[in-house]
């Protein structure tokens, strides 16, 4: 099972304990996978599990997370669904999560494992939202500009968002750089509102306190 970089689904922020657990599980997976090629294959399989199963079938994902469903039944479902279709280390890893009641962290662990692996190779994931798809020349020009902002090689994850009208929004970690036309229009609108509010306030003061 292989896939391209998955489209991330929005989710609630992890609690501190869960975030720490996700980091620990991700490190354990990378250690268990073996060499570079095996790690890359395992991460692709885990990404595919996240995108093609968890994100695409939220009711099934909820079933895997549900405490009322016995761990043995979840294990049976995982084996029936994934055996022979993903790397053995990935299936064993998901079964470990299941035994510890942590299948609900599978998507977070997949993301964290990818981040850790990229960091080891000097790669920095950069999320980019654009109004229209980028051609290769535009993407390469953007990569060159971003290279000066990150301590590594930027890897673009590009999503198209027509609501931006034009321009783009770049996210590097928690930092967001909004150069979209929608943002500029919103800033102009806000300045107009503030200008009108100031003018109304000024006129009110003149009315209440005539010279």
Q: pLDDT band at residue 66, thresholds of 50, 70 and 90?
A: very high
**Average pLDDT of 26-37?**
92
Give percent of the chain with pLDDT exceeding 90: 42
Q: Each residue of 2-13: pLDDT tens digit?
A: 333 333 333 456
Q: What is the mean pLDDT of the chain?
A: 82
**Average pLDDT of 16-27?**
91
pLDDT at 189 > cutoff 70: no
Q: Which of 24-28, 61-65, 74-78, 189-193 has the lowest mean pLDDT?
A: 189-193
pLDDT at 125 > cutoff 90: no
**Average pLDDT of 75-99?**
95
Per domain, the residue ranges of the chain are 16-119, 122-211
Radius of gyration of the chain (CA): 23
At 7 the pLDDT is 36
At 193 the pLDDT is 63
pLDDT at 153 > cutoff 80: yes
E strand residue ranges, the chain: 123-130, 153-160, 168-172, 175-178
pLDDT at 183 > cutoff 60: no
Tokens standing for residue 209 = 């306190």
**Average pLDDT of 65-86?**
94
pLDDT at 101 > cutoff 60: yes
**Average pLDDT of 161-165?**
81
pLDDT at 86 > cutoff 90: yes
Sheet holding 123-130, edge to edge: 153-160, 123-130, 168-172, 175-178
**Average pLDDT of 22-30?**
94
Tell me how far apart the alpha carbons of residues 124 and 142 are, in angstroms, rounded to a whole number. 14
Of 18, 20, 21, 42, the closest CA to residue 30 belongs to: 42
At 195 the pLDDT is 56
pTM above 0.85, yes or no: no
At 28 the pLDDT is 94
Q: pLDDT band at residue 52, thresholds of 50, 70 and 90?
A: very high
Provide CATH code, domain 16-119. 1.10.520
Of 112, 150, 125, the closest CA to residue 28 belongs to: 112
């Amino acid at each position: 099972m292989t896939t391209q970089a998955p489209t991330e689904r929005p989710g609630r922020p992890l609690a501190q304990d869960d975030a720490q657990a996700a980091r620990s599980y991700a490190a354990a997976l990378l250690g268990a996978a073996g060499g570079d090629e095996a790690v890359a294959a395992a991460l692709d399989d885990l990404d595919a599990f996240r995108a093609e199963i968890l994100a695409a079938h939220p009711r099934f994902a909820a079933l895997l997370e549900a405490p009322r469903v016995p761990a043995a039944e979840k294990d049976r479902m995982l084996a029936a669904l994934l055996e022979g279709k993903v790397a053995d280390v990935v299936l064993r890893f998901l079964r470990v999560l299941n035994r510890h009641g942590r299948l609900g962290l599978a998507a977070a662990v997949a993301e964290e494992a990818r981040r850790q692996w990229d960091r080891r190779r000097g790669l920095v994931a950069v999320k980019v939202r654009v109004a229209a798809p980028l051609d290769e020349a535009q993407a390469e020009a953007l990569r060159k500009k971003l290279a000066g902002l990150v301590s590594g090689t930027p890897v673009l994850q590009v999503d198209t968002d027509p609501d931006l009208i034009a321009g783009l929004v770049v996210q590097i970690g928690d930092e967001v750089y909004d150069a979209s036309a929608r943002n500029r229009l919103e800033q102009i609108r806000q300045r107009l509102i503030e200008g009108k509010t100031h003018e109304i306030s000024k006129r009110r003061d003149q009315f209440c306190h005539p010279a």
